[in-house]
Structure 1
Protein backbone atom coordinates (compact mmCIF):
# COMPACT_ATOMS: atom_id res chain seq x y z
CA UNK A 1 0.00 0.00 0.00
CA UNK A 2 1.32 3.46 -0.91
CA UNK A 3 0.34 5.59 2.07
CA UNK A 4 1.02 8.78 0.08
CA UNK A 5 -2.15 8.34 -1.95
CA UNK A 6 -4.26 8.22 1.21
CA UNK A 7 -2.92 11.52 2.50
CA UNK A 8 -1.26 9.98 5.54
CA UNK A 9 2.33 10.64 4.48
CA UNK A 10 4.19 13.43 6.23
CA UNK A 11 7.52 13.90 4.46
CA UNK A 12 9.15 15.81 7.31
CA UNK A 13 8.14 13.24 9.94
CA UNK A 14 9.23 10.40 7.65
CA UNK A 15 12.62 12.07 7.18
CA UNK A 16 13.10 12.77 10.89
CA UNK A 17 12.37 9.15 11.80
CA UNK A 18 15.08 8.01 9.39
CA UNK A 19 17.64 10.70 10.20
CA UNK A 20 17.32 12.27 6.74
CA UNK A 21 18.32 15.95 6.52
CA UNK A 22 15.27 18.13 6.04
CA UNK A 23 14.58 21.71 6.93
CA UNK A 24 17.67 23.22 5.35
CA UNK A 25 18.02 26.58 3.75
CA UNK A 26 19.78 29.78 2.88
CA UNK A 27 20.62 32.69 5.17
CA UNK A 28 20.67 36.22 3.79
CA UNK A 29 22.56 38.75 5.90
CA UNK A 30 23.24 42.43 5.54
CA UNK A 31 22.96 45.73 7.35
CA UNK A 32 19.63 47.48 7.84
CA UNK A 33 18.41 48.82 4.49
CA UNK A 34 20.55 46.48 2.39
CA UNK A 35 17.51 44.82 0.80
CA UNK A 36 17.84 41.41 2.43
CA UNK A 37 14.09 41.03 3.07
CA UNK A 38 13.12 41.99 -0.48
CA UNK A 39 15.78 39.66 -1.89
CA UNK A 40 14.74 36.91 0.52
CA UNK A 41 11.10 37.06 -0.57
CA UNK A 42 12.00 37.18 -4.25
CA UNK A 43 14.48 34.30 -4.00
CA UNK A 44 12.03 32.23 -1.94
CA UNK A 45 9.40 32.63 -4.67
CA UNK A 46 11.97 31.77 -7.34
CA UNK A 47 13.17 28.61 -5.57
CA UNK A 48 9.89 27.56 -3.95
CA UNK A 49 11.30 28.04 -0.43
CA UNK A 50 9.58 29.35 2.68
CA UNK A 51 10.74 32.89 3.54
CA UNK A 52 11.35 33.92 7.13
CA UNK A 53 12.32 37.46 8.14
CA UNK A 54 13.76 38.03 11.60
CA UNK A 55 11.53 41.06 12.23
CA UNK A 56 8.48 38.78 12.12
CA UNK A 57 9.95 36.81 15.02
CA UNK A 58 11.71 39.48 17.08
CA UNK A 59 8.76 41.59 18.17
CA UNK A 60 5.34 40.95 19.69
CA UNK A 61 2.33 42.83 18.35
CA UNK A 62 1.94 46.29 19.82
CA UNK A 63 0.37 49.65 18.99
CA UNK A 64 3.80 51.08 18.26
CA UNK A 65 5.66 48.58 16.04
CA UNK A 66 9.04 47.27 17.23
CA UNK A 67 8.44 48.46 20.79
CA UNK A 68 7.75 45.07 22.40
CA UNK A 69 10.75 42.78 21.73
CA UNK A 70 10.86 39.05 22.36
CA UNK A 71 13.72 37.46 24.27
CA UNK A 72 16.53 35.76 22.36
CA UNK A 73 15.22 32.41 23.63
CA UNK A 74 11.68 33.13 22.38
CA UNK A 75 13.01 34.13 18.95
CA UNK A 76 15.14 30.97 18.71
CA UNK A 77 12.21 28.74 19.68
CA UNK A 78 9.88 30.36 17.13
CA UNK A 79 12.48 30.22 14.34
CA UNK A 80 13.30 26.58 14.99
CA UNK A 81 9.63 25.61 15.12
CA UNK A 82 9.01 27.15 11.69
CA UNK A 83 12.23 25.77 10.20
CA UNK A 84 11.26 22.26 11.29
CA UNK A 85 7.91 22.60 9.51
CA UNK A 86 9.57 23.44 6.19
CA UNK A 87 11.51 21.38 3.72
CA UNK A 88 13.53 24.42 2.61
CA UNK A 89 13.69 27.97 3.91
CA UNK A 90 15.32 31.35 3.43
CA UNK A 91 16.03 33.38 6.55
CA UNK A 92 16.86 37.08 6.31
CA UNK A 93 18.44 38.99 9.20
CA UNK A 94 21.30 41.36 9.92
CA UNK A 95 23.08 38.39 11.47
CA UNK A 96 21.75 34.84 11.10
CA UNK A 97 23.87 33.37 13.90
CA UNK A 98 21.19 31.61 15.93
CA UNK A 99 23.31 28.79 17.34
CA UNK A 100 24.38 25.46 15.90
CA UNK A 101 20.88 23.98 15.89
CA UNK A 102 19.85 26.52 13.25
CA UNK A 103 23.25 27.44 11.75
CA UNK A 104 23.92 23.81 10.79
CA UNK A 105 20.90 23.92 8.48
CA UNK A 106 22.33 26.63 6.22
CA UNK A 107 23.58 25.33 2.86
CA UNK A 108 24.97 28.78 2.04
CA UNK A 109 24.89 32.35 3.30
CA UNK A 110 24.33 35.38 1.09
CA UNK A 111 26.00 38.58 2.30
CA UNK A 112 24.40 41.61 0.69
CA UNK A 113 26.42 44.85 0.75
CA UNK A 114 25.12 48.36 0.10
CA UNK A 115 26.75 51.78 0.74
CA UNK A 116 25.62 53.53 3.94
CA UNK A 117 23.99 56.53 2.25
CA UNK A 118 21.87 54.26 0.03
CA UNK A 119 20.84 52.14 3.01
CA UNK A 120 19.81 55.15 5.09
CA UNK A 121 17.74 56.56 2.23
CA UNK A 122 16.02 53.19 1.82
CA UNK A 123 15.30 52.93 5.56
CA UNK A 124 13.78 56.41 5.75
CA UNK A 125 11.67 55.89 2.62
CA UNK A 126 10.50 52.48 3.83
CA UNK A 127 9.45 53.92 7.20
CA UNK A 128 7.64 56.82 5.56
CA UNK A 129 5.81 54.48 3.15
CA UNK A 130 4.86 52.08 5.94
CA UNK A 131 3.96 54.47 8.77
CA UNK A 132 3.39 57.85 7.11
CA UNK A 133 3.00 60.83 9.42
CA UNK A 134 3.50 58.65 12.50
CA UNK A 135 7.29 58.93 11.97
CA UNK A 136 7.27 62.68 11.34
CA UNK A 137 7.87 65.31 14.04
CA UNK A 138 4.89 65.14 16.40
CA UNK A 139 3.97 61.57 15.42
CA UNK A 140 3.79 58.76 17.99
CA UNK A 141 6.72 56.95 16.31
CA UNK A 142 8.93 59.99 15.67
CA UNK A 143 11.37 59.52 18.56
CA UNK A 144 11.62 55.78 18.04
CA UNK A 145 12.36 56.17 14.33
CA UNK A 146 14.93 58.92 14.91
CA UNK A 147 16.73 56.61 17.35
CA UNK A 148 16.59 53.79 14.82
CA UNK A 149 18.01 55.98 12.04
CA UNK A 150 20.93 56.95 14.30
CA UNK A 151 21.45 53.30 15.26
CA UNK A 152 21.41 52.16 11.61
CA UNK A 153 23.88 54.90 10.65
CA UNK A 154 26.38 53.85 13.31
CA UNK A 155 25.91 50.07 13.20
CA UNK A 156 28.83 48.06 11.91
CA UNK A 157 28.79 44.60 10.40
CA UNK A 158 31.80 43.44 12.45
CA UNK A 159 29.85 40.84 14.42
CA UNK A 160 28.28 39.41 11.27
CA UNK A 161 31.57 39.42 9.36
CA UNK A 162 33.30 37.63 12.25
CA UNK A 163 30.53 35.03 12.26
CA UNK A 164 30.84 34.56 8.49
CA UNK A 165 34.52 33.63 9.01
CA UNK A 166 33.47 30.69 11.21
CA UNK A 167 31.10 29.08 8.70
CA UNK A 168 31.85 25.89 6.82
CA UNK A 169 29.16 26.51 4.18
CA UNK A 170 29.80 28.82 1.19
CA UNK A 171 29.35 32.57 1.65
CA UNK A 172 28.34 34.53 -1.44
CA UNK A 173 28.81 38.32 -1.42
CA UNK A 174 26.54 40.38 -3.64
CA UNK A 175 26.05 44.04 -4.50
CA UNK A 176 22.71 45.12 -3.07
CA UNK A 177 22.51 48.12 -5.40
CA UNK A 178 21.88 45.72 -8.30
CA UNK A 179 18.22 44.96 -9.16
CA UNK A 180 16.75 42.18 -7.05
CA UNK A 181 15.99 40.11 -10.17
CA UNK A 182 19.64 40.26 -11.26
CA UNK A 183 20.92 39.25 -7.83
CA UNK A 184 18.40 36.44 -7.48
CA UNK A 185 19.43 35.01 -10.86
CA UNK A 186 23.14 35.20 -9.92
CA UNK A 187 22.45 33.50 -6.60
CA UNK A 188 20.37 30.75 -8.19
CA UNK A 189 23.16 30.02 -10.68
CA UNK A 190 25.78 30.02 -7.90
CA UNK A 191 23.94 27.70 -5.52
CA UNK A 192 22.36 25.23 -7.92
CA UNK A 193 24.75 22.49 -6.80
CA UNK A 194 24.47 23.35 -3.10
CA UNK A 195 20.74 22.85 -2.67
Structure 2
Protein backbone atom coordinates (compact mmCIF):
# COMPACT_ATOMS: atom_id res chain seq x y z
CA UNK A 1 0.00 0.00 0.00
CA UNK A 2 1.38 3.37 -1.04
CA UNK A 3 -0.19 6.23 0.91
CA UNK A 4 0.20 9.97 0.47
CA UNK A 5 -0.96 12.34 3.23
CA UNK A 6 -1.06 16.09 2.65
CA UNK A 7 -2.64 19.31 3.85
CA UNK A 8 -1.73 22.81 4.94
CA UNK A 9 1.28 23.37 7.15
CA UNK A 10 0.18 22.57 10.70
CA UNK A 11 -2.68 20.27 9.68
CA UNK A 12 -1.08 17.25 11.34
CA UNK A 13 0.38 15.46 8.31
CA UNK A 14 3.64 14.42 9.97
CA UNK A 15 1.99 13.42 13.24
CA UNK A 16 -0.55 11.26 11.42
CA UNK A 17 2.03 9.86 9.02
CA UNK A 18 4.31 8.76 11.84
CA UNK A 19 1.38 7.23 13.76
CA UNK A 20 0.26 5.35 10.66
CA UNK A 21 3.82 4.17 10.02
CA UNK A 22 4.03 2.84 13.56
CA UNK A 23 0.71 1.02 13.19
CA UNK A 24 1.41 -0.46 9.73
CA UNK A 25 5.17 -0.90 9.81
CA UNK A 26 5.46 1.07 6.57
CA UNK A 27 8.35 3.54 6.29
CA UNK A 28 7.42 7.22 6.49
CA UNK A 29 8.94 9.80 4.17
CA UNK A 30 8.51 13.53 4.81
CA UNK A 31 8.50 15.76 1.72
CA UNK A 32 10.44 18.42 3.66
CA UNK A 33 13.42 16.04 3.88
CA UNK A 34 13.60 16.13 0.09
CA UNK A 35 12.56 19.76 -0.52
CA UNK A 36 15.09 21.32 1.86
CA UNK A 37 18.86 20.94 2.08
CA UNK A 38 20.19 20.51 5.60
CA UNK A 39 21.07 23.95 6.94
CA UNK A 40 21.32 26.03 10.08
CA UNK A 41 18.86 27.60 10.54
CA UNK A 42 16.81 24.81 8.96
CA UNK A 43 14.35 25.19 6.09
CA UNK A 44 16.27 27.98 4.38
CA UNK A 45 17.99 26.30 1.39
CA UNK A 46 15.82 24.66 -1.27
CA UNK A 47 17.11 21.54 -3.01
CA UNK A 48 17.21 21.53 -6.81
CA UNK A 49 13.85 20.25 -8.09
CA UNK A 50 15.28 17.54 -10.35
CA UNK A 51 17.56 16.27 -7.59
CA UNK A 52 14.67 16.38 -5.09
CA UNK A 53 12.37 14.36 -7.34
CA UNK A 54 15.07 11.83 -8.20
CA UNK A 55 15.89 11.31 -4.51
CA UNK A 56 12.25 10.82 -3.60
CA UNK A 57 11.58 8.43 -6.48
CA UNK A 58 14.64 6.42 -5.48
CA UNK A 59 13.56 6.14 -1.84
CA UNK A 60 10.00 5.18 -2.72
CA UNK A 61 11.11 2.60 -5.29
CA UNK A 62 13.14 0.79 -2.64
CA UNK A 63 9.98 -0.05 -0.65
CA UNK A 64 6.92 -2.12 -1.49
CA UNK A 65 4.76 -0.15 0.96
CA UNK A 66 5.27 3.40 2.19
CA UNK A 67 3.71 6.58 3.50
CA UNK A 68 4.65 9.95 2.03
CA UNK A 69 3.69 13.05 3.98
CA UNK A 70 3.67 16.62 2.72
CA UNK A 71 2.44 18.73 -0.13
CA UNK A 72 4.02 17.73 -3.44
CA UNK A 73 1.31 19.13 -5.71
CA UNK A 74 3.80 21.23 -7.68
CA UNK A 75 6.48 18.52 -8.00
CA UNK A 76 5.27 17.23 -11.35
CA UNK A 77 2.94 14.52 -12.59
CA UNK A 78 5.14 11.50 -11.89
CA UNK A 79 4.09 10.99 -8.25
CA UNK A 80 0.25 10.76 -8.16
CA UNK A 81 0.10 7.54 -10.25
CA UNK A 82 2.19 5.87 -7.53
CA UNK A 83 -0.41 6.41 -4.79
CA UNK A 84 -2.94 3.77 -3.83
CA UNK A 85 -4.54 6.13 -1.33
CA UNK A 86 -4.31 9.90 -0.93
CA UNK A 87 -5.42 11.49 2.35
CA UNK A 88 -6.15 15.22 2.58
CA UNK A 89 -6.24 16.85 6.02
CA UNK A 90 -8.23 20.04 6.46
CA UNK A 91 -8.51 21.72 9.86
CA UNK A 92 -9.79 25.12 10.96
CA UNK A 93 -7.45 28.04 10.27
CA UNK A 94 -7.21 29.26 13.89
CA UNK A 95 -6.42 25.77 15.23
CA UNK A 96 -3.75 25.25 12.58
CA UNK A 97 -2.01 28.60 13.13
CA UNK A 98 -2.02 28.09 16.92
CA UNK A 99 -0.42 24.66 16.38
CA UNK A 100 2.24 26.17 14.13
CA UNK A 101 3.13 28.87 16.63
CA UNK A 102 3.42 26.30 19.41
CA UNK A 103 5.47 23.96 17.21
CA UNK A 104 7.90 26.68 16.18
CA UNK A 105 8.44 27.71 19.79
CA UNK A 106 8.93 24.09 20.90
CA UNK A 107 11.44 23.48 18.08
CA UNK A 108 13.49 26.65 18.39
CA UNK A 109 12.69 28.33 21.70
CA UNK A 110 13.00 32.04 22.44
CA UNK A 111 15.41 32.64 19.54
CA UNK A 112 12.41 33.07 17.24
CA UNK A 113 11.56 36.16 19.30
CA UNK A 114 14.97 37.43 20.44
CA UNK A 115 17.09 37.11 17.27
CA UNK A 116 16.15 39.63 14.58
CA UNK A 117 16.79 37.30 11.62
CA UNK A 118 15.09 34.30 13.22
CA UNK A 119 12.11 36.45 14.24
CA UNK A 120 11.71 37.66 10.66
CA UNK A 121 11.85 34.05 9.41
CA UNK A 122 9.25 33.05 12.00
CA UNK A 123 6.94 35.96 11.15
CA UNK A 124 7.32 35.33 7.39
CA UNK A 125 6.51 31.66 7.92
CA UNK A 126 3.36 32.41 9.92
CA UNK A 127 2.22 34.92 7.27
CA UNK A 128 2.92 32.37 4.53
CA UNK A 129 1.03 29.62 6.39
CA UNK A 130 -1.88 31.98 7.13
CA UNK A 131 -2.39 32.59 3.41
CA UNK A 132 -3.38 28.97 2.80
CA UNK A 133 -7.07 29.30 3.58
CA UNK A 134 -7.70 32.60 1.76
CA UNK A 135 -5.48 31.64 -1.21
CA UNK A 136 -3.03 34.50 -0.76
CA UNK A 137 0.14 32.42 -0.36
CA UNK A 138 2.67 33.07 -3.09
CA UNK A 139 5.07 30.34 -4.21
CA UNK A 140 8.76 30.57 -3.31
CA UNK A 141 10.36 33.16 -5.53
CA UNK A 142 6.98 34.75 -6.31
CA UNK A 143 6.29 32.47 -9.29
CA UNK A 144 2.53 32.25 -8.81
CA UNK A 145 0.13 30.66 -6.38
CA UNK A 146 1.86 28.80 -3.57
CA UNK A 147 0.49 26.10 -1.29
CA UNK A 148 -3.13 27.11 -0.88
CA UNK A 149 -6.46 25.41 -0.39
CA UNK A 150 -7.39 26.34 -3.96
CA UNK A 151 -4.21 24.74 -5.33
CA UNK A 152 -4.86 21.60 -3.27
CA UNK A 153 -8.50 21.39 -4.40
CA UNK A 154 -7.46 21.67 -8.07
CA UNK A 155 -4.81 18.95 -7.60
CA UNK A 156 -7.32 16.65 -5.92
CA UNK A 157 -9.51 16.79 -9.05
CA UNK A 158 -6.65 15.23 -11.03
CA UNK A 159 -6.18 12.21 -8.76
CA UNK A 160 -7.17 8.80 -10.07
CA UNK A 161 -6.73 6.71 -6.93
CA UNK A 162 -8.35 6.14 -3.57
CA UNK A 163 -9.01 9.45 -1.83
CA UNK A 164 -10.03 10.44 1.70
CA UNK A 165 -10.64 13.90 3.08
CA UNK A 166 -10.51 14.25 6.85
CA UNK A 167 -11.95 17.60 7.90
CA UNK A 168 -12.16 19.25 11.29
CA UNK A 169 -10.11 19.25 14.47
CA UNK A 170 -10.11 15.48 14.86
CA UNK A 171 -7.75 13.48 17.06
CA UNK A 172 -4.86 11.46 15.70
CA UNK A 173 -6.67 8.30 16.81
CA UNK A 174 -9.83 9.29 14.92
CA UNK A 175 -7.81 10.01 11.78
CA UNK A 176 -5.84 6.79 12.14
CA UNK A 177 -9.00 4.72 12.61
CA UNK A 178 -10.59 6.34 9.55
CA UNK A 179 -7.59 5.50 7.36
CA UNK A 180 -7.16 1.96 8.71
CA UNK A 181 -10.86 1.23 8.12
CA UNK A 182 -10.56 2.58 4.57
CA UNK A 183 -7.46 0.49 3.82
CA UNK A 184 -9.45 -2.66 4.56
CA UNK A 185 -11.47 -1.99 1.38
CA UNK A 186 -8.45 -2.08 -0.93
Give 1:143 deviation, angstroms: 0.8
Q: How many residues align?
A: 171
Contact 1:32 1:123 in 2 (8 A): yes
**Moved beyond 2 Å, runs of 4+:** 94-102, 137-140
Give 1:101 deviation, angstroms: 3.0
Give 1:100 deviation, angstroms: 3.8
Larger radius of gyration: 1
Give 1:102 deviation, angstroms: 2.2
Give 1:139 deviation, angstroms: 5.1
**Gap runs ≥5 in structure 2:** 133-147
- Taking a change above 3 Å as real, the CA distance of residues 103 and 115 of structure 1, as seen in their structure-2 partners, is same
Trace 1:18-97 onto structure 2 (pairs within 5 A): 25-96=2-73
Deviations 1:49-86 (A, max 9, x none): 11011111111111111111112212111110100111
Give 1:172 deviation, angstroms: 0.4
TM (norm. structure 2) is: 0.86
SS in 1 for 2:66: strand
Q: Over aligned residue pairs, what C-alpha RMSD do you find?
A: 1.5
Contact 1:27 1:96 in 2 (8 A): no
Q: Find the counterpart in structure 1 of residue 158 from structure 2.
A: 166
SS in 1 for 2:110: helix
TM (norm. structure 1) is: 0.82
1:183 maps onto 2:175 in alignment: yes
**Gap runs ≥5 in structure 1:** 1-23
Give 1:97 deviation, angstroms: 5.5
Give 1:140 deviation, angstroms: 4.3
